[in-house]
Amino acid sequence: MSRFRTIKINKGKISKMIKNRAGRRAIAIEIGCSQVIVPRILADHGLRLLPTFNSAENVDRIRMLSGQGLGYGAIATELGCRTNTVQKLCGRHGIRPQRTPRKGVDIELIRQLIQSRTRVVVIAEKLGVSTACIYDRCRQNDLTPNIKTIFPRPDLANLRWLRESKSVREMASHFSVSAHTVYRWLRYYGLPNPEKRPVLAKTTRKPKTPAAKVRKSRKPAACSNIVPVPISTNVVRLSCSPKAIQKFDQRPVGQQLRMAGGR
């Protein structure tokens, strides 16, 4: 009997994972063992991993399907594997399947906006898609996006509106530029940032004298909680000099009691 037979596994769950094309790493995490011994554990329990997709036959099939104009997802459906597996194989063997064009992106509108020197960020905001999508469509249709544009300056008529506005985002949407450009305008014209809180002027305070020095220079104040006790009785009780008794009498009552208690 093999020693791997003693390792308990959930056979139903593992077989389901194998059907779903799980690899040895995922199964090793599920069992709680090393990846190296996964095939031997499965063999002892009468299970076997499915063959991997990294074979010459599958690579040829991926190359053929990508030539037909299928994307990653469609190829994965044809092969019966995950999209991530197809992407890894394509990257390893230099295959570039055609990406399915995203919905709701009008290429003519993108062309018009690029011709009017609109930045990619603004185009993406107007169409409600990511900048990666815009770059992808530009690459497919041989368009050169305006990556670096000349720093646009607002008209002098709009300067008053810029000065009176309370929000940078509001200004950016009004001028159809990014918030970064609005910040540059404010710096260029010497205008304050409307969203920045005013910094209060720091008041100069006199440096506090250390407590030890103050205590030395100050005379002992008359405290309300000092209870005067006749010196004669203290002398009898404490058996020390009258001067020490006077000092003792000047202390607060709580301190006198602690001292009398021998603490």
Question: In the prediction, which pLDDT does 164 show?
Answer: 73
pLDDT tier at 234 (50, 70, 90 boundaries)?
very low
Handedness of CA 110, 115, 118, 121 (dihedral sign): positive
Tokens representing 140 are 């497919």
CA distances from 262 to 162, 210, 255, 259 (A): 77, 31, 11, 5
Q: What is the rounded average pLDDT of the residues 87-95?
A: 85
Average confidence score pLDDT of the chain: 72
Q: What confidence category does residue 235 fall into, taking pLDDT thresholds of 50, 70 and 90?
A: very low
Q: Which residues are bridge partners to 146 per DSSP?
A: 119
- Residue 109: the pLDDT is 85
Q: How far apart are CA 241 and CA 247, in angstroms?
A: 10
Q: What pLDDT is recorded for position 4?
A: 62
Q: Read off the DSSP letter of residue 146.
A: B
pLDDT in tens, 56-69: 778 888 888 888 87
The pTM assigned to this predicted structure is 0.29
The pLDDT score that the predictor gives to residue 262 is: 53
Looking at the predicted structure, is the pLDDT value of residue 232 above 70? Answer: no
Higher pLDDT, 164 or 239: 164
CA distance 226 to 208: 29
Angle at Cα 150 formed by Cα 145 and Cα 154, nearest 5°?
Answer: 120
pLDDT tens, residue by residue, 169-222: 877 777 777 788 778 777 777 777 777 655 555 556 666 665 555 555 555 555
What's the pLDDT score for residue 133? 78
Indicate whether 13 pLDDT > 60: yes
Tell me the pLDDT tens digit for each residue of 27-59. 888 888 888 888 888 888 888 887 666 667 788
SS3 state of residue 57: helix
pLDDT at 149 > cutoff 50:
no
More confident residue, 106 or 3: 106
Name the nearest CA neighbour of 251 among 219, 232, 215, 225: 225
Q: Given CA atoms 41, 44, 47, 51 in this order, what sign does their dihedral have?
A: positive
Mean pLDDT of 150-178: 69
Rounded Cα distance between 93 and 79, Å, is 17
Residue 93 pLDDT:
84
Tell me the percentage of the chain whose pLDDT exceeds 70: 65
Give the residue with greater pLDDT, 221 vs 248.
248
The answer to whether residue 127 scores a pLDDT higher than 70 is yes
